[in-house]
Amino acid sequence: MRVVTERSAAVPLQQVKLNDPFWSRYIRLVREVAIPYQYEALHDRIPGVEPSHAVANFRIAAGREQGEYKGMVFQDSDVAKWLEAAAYSLAIHPDPKLEQQVDELIDLIADAQQPDGYLNTYFTVKEPTKRWTNLTDCHELYCAGHLIEAAVAHYRATGKRKLLDVACRFADYIDTVFGPEEGKIHGFDGHQEIELALVKLYEATHEEKYLQLAQYFIDERGREPHFFHQEWERRGKSSFYASVSGAPHLPYHQSHLPVREQKVAVGHSVRAVYMYTAMADLAARTGDASLMEACENLWDNIVHKQMYITGGIGSTHHGEAFTIDYDLPNDTVYAETCASIGLIFFARRMLELSPKSEYADVMERALYNTVIGSMAQDGTHFFYVNPLEVWPDACRHNPGKHHVKPVRPGWFACACCPPNVARLLTSLGEYVYTSNEDTLFAHLYIGGETAVSLRGNTVKVKQTSELPWSGNVTFTVEPQQAAEWTLALRIPGWCRGQAVIRVNGEETTGLIREGYAYITRTWASGDTLELALSLDILQVRAHPLVRANAGKAAIQRGPLVYCWESVDNGAPISAVTLAADPKLTSRFDPDLPGGAVVIEGAGWREEAESWNGELYRAAPRQAKSATLKAIPYYLWGNRGENEMAVWIREEASLV
Amino acid sequence: MRVVTERSAAVPLQQVKLNDPFWSRYIRLVREVAIPYQYEALHDRIPGVEPSHAVANFRIAAGREQGEYKGMVFQDSDVAKWLEAAAYSLAIHPDPKLEQQVDELIDLIADAQQPDGYLNTYFTVKEPTKRWTNLTDCHELYCAGHLIEAAVAHYRATGKRKLLDVACRFADYIDTVFGPEEGKIHGFDGHQEIELALVKLYEATHEEKYLQLAQYFIDERGREPHFFHQEWERRGKSSFYASVSGAPHLPYHQSHLPVREQKVAVGHSVRAVYMYTAMADLAARTGDASLMEACENLWDNIVHKQMYITGGIGSTHHGEAFTIDYDLPNDTVYAETCASIGLIFFARRMLELSPKSEYADVMERALYNTVIGSMAQDGTHFFYVNPLEVWPDACRHNPGKHHVKPVRPGWFACACCPPNVARLLTSLGEYVYTSNEDTLFAHLYIGGETAVSLRGNTVKVKQTSELPWSGNVTFTVEPQQAAEWTLALRIPGWCRGQAVIRVNGEETTGLIREGYAYITRTWASGDTLELALSLDILQVRAHPLVRANAGKAAIQRGPLVYCWESVDNGAPISAVTLAADPKLTSRFDPDLPGGAVVIEGAGWREEAESWNGELYRAAPRQAKSATLKAIPYYLWGNRGENEMAVWIREEASLV
């Protein structure tokens, strides 16, 4: 077991006010565009967009109007995720109009709650006698979890208890339905989510039973005889989905084994990382060593064997799932946005358990690449699938790639990702720092101000950061009174140890442990710490077992992974080779959306000119030298439809 | 339009007796193992193999036993294809036991024929009132076509008319059901096949109406209002397959346009090439220029934009279909064996229309690589899918590759490919030569004896060939009387013009036209022609628009494409790079099944030793020099499950 004093907890959103040239723009985009747009979408008021019906379902369940339930069985969760995002937004940026919209929606939700506390519009409106008969498929506890997360966020943001009380009544009711006791259902949900939500509810209310219920769901999962199989037998071996036949596929739900015995990430990737997040939450609160070990095993498996360089996870769209170690195809990939968000949740929990820079590196990787890459610069179009290689014509005409879109679509029938991006970005402050009794850990370099209590001393810390474009970061501290405490700084993997720390102008190294520099000293008001991180351009290779990337390199600079688009480099993008010594350079290009550093270098471009209609020939290759240009991955697909690749061939550079 | 005298016709199987060190082994394997094995499989007598029920269906339809129809809706065609293969085998190798089995099966089929001539066990046994109500899905005319092909083959092999009479009665009946006349169905089948079969029936019987019916089916296809849509409306918009919803997908059936307007190969690849075969058959018999032009366009599209180097076609398993130009993924490929067989049918028809060596090159490519590669050396295991890159673990665990099998499976529930291989190999003699009034064309270099009539003069020609291992071919002619005629020899694309021809020891070139050397002289008994073809090892690249093969080379020697297996080169096979100057050499390896020429050369192998669990890193690649070994593609997967690739990276050899 780890040393307990290494543990830390996230600095709450209310205590972190971000103000960052790179990130504030995204957070503002979410606040000013995405949240209002999604509000309208949930109310079916966006012309030309398939109606969500999510709010309408609540209105019907609340008896405010007549009608039929429409949408996915988990449509309620879209409302809950929007509410959670709106609550975070209110926490960091008060807005009376938004607050009123939120209050009205909460009133509606409260009206839709049943007398016994139950709250789910699908079952209330459509199948009132079928509650809890199909946990495998029907997302009842998943929707409950999102409602609880929204309630906690709203309570913390506004101090208002109405939604929290709704959530507690619902959770209390769930606690009477599920559990080890005789007469209760000995089961759990097909889509993990309630587990991490109940931990949040416990944190907000200090009500032990919520923690115990989360623990119950985690412990019960994967036990034999298997709940999903029993439930399936009881339903006459039917599934909610007409296209699904046969018994539930347990690995899809990560319920093929008790969670402590799981060593390899399998199945639906969002379900997986939501569950691992809850496991880490519980391990932190109970000190359960076997659960912690399982979290470490699963983390290692994902990060060292199943993660794309962009922080995407889930190699196949079949079941939106993991496949096997090192199977990371770039063009048939799934890499759902929600899965990378869940990976960020998991990473933050692992950081709280133990400050290792790898956790923050992965959190940052997913955030700067897949998550912001999923959102168009207009805030209203989103990728669900985040490919590393795209040939638009093949996406249209090869059914194995139909799930890959070459440009960001608008609102989807299954609208899980956009509100998930919104709630992550509005709560981004919660991912920057953790703290414990005497240490403030800085995990992400995002400007802003925070205040924490260290040994009873209130310490204000102001961070400025020039990331991702340059590696200069400063911290100015303002403790209530001068005292000894520690500022622990993450040294990102991408700077490869090339980090210079100066305190009040004087270079220091501090104690380096697990990728963090621990600067312990008596900090006085006005003390400054400057951190200079090297932003070398890295030419990255994948492990030789990653068949898809053999002979190829990806470019990374700081936290940003780069990609090559045919609008800059010609089509097909596969015809491009990076020269043996590409002499890569970086420059700021103000013409890209928001402005961005691009990377240029020498390469070759194979030409088709000399081909006369043959498909195959024995003649040598012909290529012309070319200056190649890469842009940050998060910006791909913003200049019309074109080919894109993260990994490109490099001229043999064998040692 | 082409010069009419260029036209030729296949030399019938009865006139070609193959005797070839390479091919006779395969033909014997089919005769001695595959045909008896498939006979037992059709009779449900192979332990451990899913019952076919195909013969049982005929017994039930014939009233010989009680029971239910089982199997695919086109199960009858398995019996027909087996019968056709058995008939060819009888034509080239009389066998009283086999002939008796054939006769018994024909008696059974005749008993299953309905009084009006109709013959289809699915509809007779299971849905007697639903005849011709779902041409789109139910393969009635497809099964009829295979029965007709079997009947013609059997009649030609044995002179017995029983099955031919059955087929004629059925065709006569079909002719009363379909056609442009009032009261007939103005339609065609969902799976093309009857068209080419009716041409064969016409050739066997000289009954014009069969040719006209074939022409009708071809001409009617793709016309508006669309027959499949009308039929679908009449069925209440239902499909035979529960999983299929919506209107028939016309491109899948190549019925999206009138055939003469089709320029790009689309949809189900077997359907496509069977149709193109019939189109070429009709063009040859009617001189229809627009049909010929369509054939040429479709040929060009396939061969120059949609064909794997192995002669495989069909890039996706979704619909077993073509996708788009240059989309030739190696690992998610379909490349069904039957599709390559259909491509061979199409190529032979194009050769008959016009002797261009490209047609024979493609025929040979499909034959020597995909077709024989599909069959295990035991004659009882077959690939349906013929991948160019295989990672067995990914095939098991990534659902996008589940259709790709790393070793040849036994009999399938959908058993189309094994009997198709059997009927092709037993009739291989029909693909070697075509002739016209004064020219014998040698398209394939396969040893044996043939006899043709040229200007009324019976000419016997004996061919010996050392292909595919060496390029020495000889022809010895024995004309009834000395006379002038032409022996036209294909100069294969792979010898790149390096072909030496000697007549009676004296070098000659002949007239070279469209890849054929026309040797016109007065041939006397005992004259010999020696042909020496260069078998250089070719390092082949794909057109730069083939994204999947960027930076990679394939090895070809003579007609054989090579592949690299991890049993010889270590795993993963993706870690291998061919050196810039690989100094490729060939040697005969007697240890491979049947003995084969292997190719060896210098390369590099990236090692994972220096990696410490990272998935990505910026360090240079590390590789060790290695001697790499390639084996003929047709032998892959015969030494246990392992990784395989046809295309491997080459050290930059940019000009």
pLDDT of residue B2: 35
Show the domain range for B557: 537-650
Specify whether B641 is located in the same domain as B599: yes
| Strand A9-10 to A433-435 pairing | antiparallel
Q: Is residue A447 part of a domain?
A: yes
Among A235, A258, A292, where does a domain finish?
A235
Burial B113-130 (b: 16+ CB within 10 A, else e): bbeebbbbbbbbbbeeee
pLDDT at A167 over 80: yes
Check whether the bond before A225 is cis (ω within 30° of 0). Answer: yes
Residues B175 and B279: beta-carbon distance below 8 Å: no
The answer to whether residue B307 neighbours chain A at the CB level (below 8 Å) is yes
Specify whether A212 is located in the same domain as A256: no
Q: Is residue A555 part of a domain?
A: yes
Q: Is residue A469 part of a domain?
A: yes
pLDDT of residue B93: 96
pLDDT of residue B62: 97
What are the pLDDT digits (tens) for B351-397? 999 999 999 999 999 999 999 999 998 888 999 999 999 999 999 99
Give kind and range of the element (H or E) at residue A491.
none
pLDDT at B414 over 80: no
DSSP string covering B172-183: HHHHHHBSSSTT
Name, in order, each residue with C-beta under 8 angstroms of A49's C-beta and a sequence gap of 6 or more.
A41, A410, A411
pLDDT at A412 over 80: no
Q: Is residue B274 part of a domain?
A: yes
Specify whether A409 is located in the same domain as A438: no
pLDDT of residue B47: 87
Give the residue-averaged pLDDT of B610-629. Answer: 93
Instruction: Report the domain count for chain A.
Output: 4
Cα–Cα distances (Å) from A530 to A24, A452, A501, B419, in that order, read: 21, 20, 6, 76
Specify whether A372 is located in the same domain as A330: yes
Specify whether B316 is located in the same domain as B392: yes
Specify whether B476 is located in the same domain as B574: no
Residues B392 and B27: beta-carbon distance below 8 Å: no
Specify whether A481 is located in the same domain as A545: no
What are the pLDDT digits (tens) for B474-511? 999 999 999 999 999 999 999 999 999 999 999 998 89
DSSP string covering B27-48: HHHIIIIIHHHHHHHHTT-STT
Partner-chain residue, chosen from A538, A547, A654, that has the shortest CB–CB distance to B391: A547
Chain A residues whose beta carbon lies within 8 Å of the beta carbon of residue B393: 324, 327
pLDDT of residue A410: 78
Chain B residues whose beta carbon lies within 8 Å of the beta carbon of residue A391: 327, 547
- In this predicted complex, what is the ipTM? 0.95
Lowest-confidence region among A343-347, A374-378, B181-185: A374-378
A324 three-state secondary structure: coil
Categorize the per-residue pLDDT at A1 as very low, low, confident or very high, splitting at 50, 70 and 90. very low
Residue B283 CA, distance from chain mean position: 21
Searching chain A, which residue's CA lies closest to the CA of residue B609?
A544
DSSP string covering A347-408: HHHHHHH---HHHHHHHHHIIIIIIHHTB-TTSS-B-SB--SEE-HHHHHH-GGGTT--SS-
Determine how many CB atoms are found less than 10 A away from the CB of residue A504: 12
Of B611, B124, B18, whose CA–CA distance to A304 is shortest? B611
pLDDT at B3 over 50: no
Categorize the per-residue pLDDT at A653 as very low, low, confident or very high, splitting at 50, 70 and 90. low
Instruction: Report the helix count and the strand count for chain B, using DSSP H and E.
Output: 20, 24
A100 HSE (CA, 13 A, CB side): 2
What are the pLDDT digits (tens) for A437-492? 999 999 999 999 999 999 999 999 999 999 999 999 999 999 999 999 999 999 99
Q: Give the rounded percent of residues in chain A with a pLDDT score beyond 90.
A: 92
Q: Is residue A160 part of a domain?
A: yes
Categorize the per-residue pLDDT at B410 as very low, low, confident or very high, splitting at 50, 70 and 90. confident
Residues A408 and A381: beta-carbon distance below 8 Å: yes
Contact A619 B323 (CB under 8 A): no
List the 226-255 stretch of A: residues with Cβ below 8 A of B: 243
Lowest-confidence region among B113-127, B168-182, B241-255: B241-255
Cα–Cα distances (Å) from A63 to A74, A108, A531, B584, in that order, read: 20, 10, 58, 79
The answer to whether residue A329 neighbours chain B at the CB level (below 8 Å) is yes
Of A580, A615, A266, whose CA–CA distance to B548 is shortest? A615
What are the pLDDT digits (tens) for A358-367? 999 999 999 9
Specify whether B129 is located in the same domain as B196: yes
> What gap in Å lies between CA A35 and CA A169, rounded to an integer?
28
Give the residue-averaged pLDDT of B587-612. Answer: 95
Let me know if B600 is a catalytic residue. no
Helix axes B96-112 and B140-158, enclosed angle (nearest 10): 140
Categorize the per-residue pLDDT at A3 as very low, low, confident or very high, splitting at 50, 70 and 90. very low
Average model confidence (pLDDT) for chain B? 95
Of A517, A520, A534, whose CA–CA distance to A466 is shortest? A534
> What gap in Å lies between CA B48 and CA B318, rounded to an integer?
29
The answer to whether residue B12 neighbours chain A at the CB level (below 8 Å) is no
What are the pLDDT digits (tens) for A509-546? 889 999 999 999 999 999 999 999 999 999 999 999 99
What are the pLDDT digits (tens) for A309-341? 999 999 999 999 999 999 999 999 999 999 999
pLDDT at A2 over 70: no
Q: Which two tokens stand for residue B598?
A: 């292997």
> What gap in Å lies between CA A381 and CA A369, rounded to an integer?
16
Q: Which amino acid, A552?
A: K
Chain B residues whose beta carbon lies within 8 Å of the beta carbon of residue A620: 541, 653-655
pLDDT of residue B413: 56
Instruction: Pick the catalytic residue from A168, A295, A395, A416.
Output: A416
Q: What angle do CA A286, A289, A294 make, to 5 degrees?
A: 110
pLDDT of residue A4: 39
Specify whether A395 is located in the same domain as A474: no
Q: Give the rounded percent of residues in chain B with a pLDDT score beyond 90.
A: 92
The whole-angstrom distance between A388's CA and the closest CA on chain B is 14
The answer to whether residue A297 neighbours chain B at the CB level (below 8 Å) is no
Among B533, B549, B565, where does a domain finish?
B533
> What gap in Å lies between CA B412 and CA B416, rounded to an integer?
8
Give the residue-averaged pLDDT of A81-107. Answer: 97
Partner-chain residue, chosen from A300, A620, A655, that has the shortest CB–CB distance to B655: A620
Specify whether A69 is located in the same domain as A154: yes
The whole-angstrom distance between A549's CA and the closest CA on chain B is 9
Contacts 24+ apart (CB under 8 A), B65-74: B68/B125, B68/B126, B69/B121, B69/B122, B69/B125, B69/B126, B71/B413, B72/B413, B72/B414, B73/B122, B73/B137, B73/B138, B73/B139, B73/B240, B74/B122, B74/B138, B74/B139, B74/B142, B74/B143, B74/B191
pLDDT at A105 over 90: yes
Name, in order, each residue with C-beta under 8 angstroms of A439's C-beta and a sequence gap of 6 or more.
A8, A454, A485, A486, A487, A488, A518
Q: Is residue A4 part of a domain?
A: no
Residue B326 CA, distance from chain mean position: 21
Chain B residues whose beta carbon lies within 8 Å of the beta carbon of residue A615: 303-305, 307, 542-543, 546
Q: Is residue A30 part of a domain?
A: no
The answer to whether residue B316 neighbours chain A at the CB level (below 8 Å) is yes
Chain A residues whose beta carbon lies within 8 Å of the beta carbon of residue B544: 572, 574-575, 606-608, 611
**Burial (CB count within 10 angstroms: exposed 0-12, middle 13-18, buried 19+), residue A115:** exposed
Let me know if B416 is a catalytic residue. yes
Specify whether B84 is located in the same domain as B179: yes
Searching chain A, which residue's CA lies closest to the CA of residue B324?
A397
Name, in order, each residue with C-beta under 8 angstroms of A547's C-beta and a sequence gap of 6 or more.
A326, A327, B391, B394, B572, B574
Of B591, B598, B637, whose CA–CA distance to B374 is shortest? B637
Residues B383 and B339: beta-carbon distance below 8 Å: no
Contact A544 B651 (CB under 8 A): no
Name, in order, each residue with C-beta under 8 angstroms of A552's C-beta and a sequence gap of 6 or more.
A541, A542, A647, A648, A649, A650
User: Per DSSP, what are the bridge partners of residue B440?
Assistant: B435, B487
Residues B61 and B115: beta-carbon distance below 8 Å: no
B330 three-state secondary structure: coil
Categorize the per-residue pLDDT at A37 as very low, low, confident or very high, splitting at 50, 70 and 90. very high
Token pair 């700084």 is found at: A489
Phi, psi for residue A423 in degrees, rounded to 5 = -75, -30
Categorize the per-residue pLDDT at A603 as very low, low, confident or very high, splitting at 50, 70 and 90. very high
Q: Which amino acid, A437?
A: E
Alpha helices in B43-95 (DSSP H): 54-61, 76-92
Q: Is residue A36 part of a domain?
A: no
Q: Which residue out of B331, B654, B655 would a mutagenesis test of the A interface target, given it has the greatest number of A Cβ atoms within 10 Å? A: B654
Residues A1 and A289: beta-carbon distance below 8 Å: yes
pLDDT of residue A640: 93
Specify whether A172 is located in the same domain as A314: no
A541 three-state secondary structure: strand
Among A493, A516, A533, where does a domain finish?
A533
pLDDT at B551 over 60: yes
Contact B318 A399 (CB under 8 A): yes
Average model confidence (pLDDT) for chain A? 95
Chain A residues whose beta carbon lies within 8 Å of the beta carbon of residue B540: 616-618
pLDDT at B574 over 70: yes
What are the pLDDT digits (tens) for A217-270? 999 999 999 999 999 999 999 999 887 888 999 999 999 999 999 999 999 999
